Amino acid sequence: MITDKNNPPTNDKGRWERGLDPWHKDAFPDEHQHAAPRQTGLRKEGWFELDGFGNPIAFIPDGEDV
């Protein structure tokens, strides 16, 4: 299955939340953008996996085959 805004990585919808790539340089303050793992391209939307307390523990961008 390919992920997109209507299709989270699993059917467990309470475990996933929409958001923007947290590792893209645009997610970092100006003074720290040089340290971002993803420096180029558009900042993708995708799904954050949440733990039992609602904390994000993983990010899967739209378009991934899971």
Q: Report the alpha-carbon distance of residue 45 to residue 15 in Å, rounded.
A: 17
pLDDT for the residue 41? 93
The whole-number average pLDDT for the span 40-54 is: 95
* Sheet with 45-50: strands ordered across: 16-20, 45-50, 56-61
**Cβ partners under 8 Å of residue 42, min gap 6:** none
Q: Are 58 and 64 in contact (CB under 8 A)?
A: no
Per cent of the chain over pLDDT 70 is 100
Each residue's pLDDT tens digit, 22-35: 999 999 999 999 99
Of 1-5, 10-14, 57-61, 62-66, give the lowest mean pLDDT range.
Answer: 10-14
Region 26-49: mean pLDDT is 95
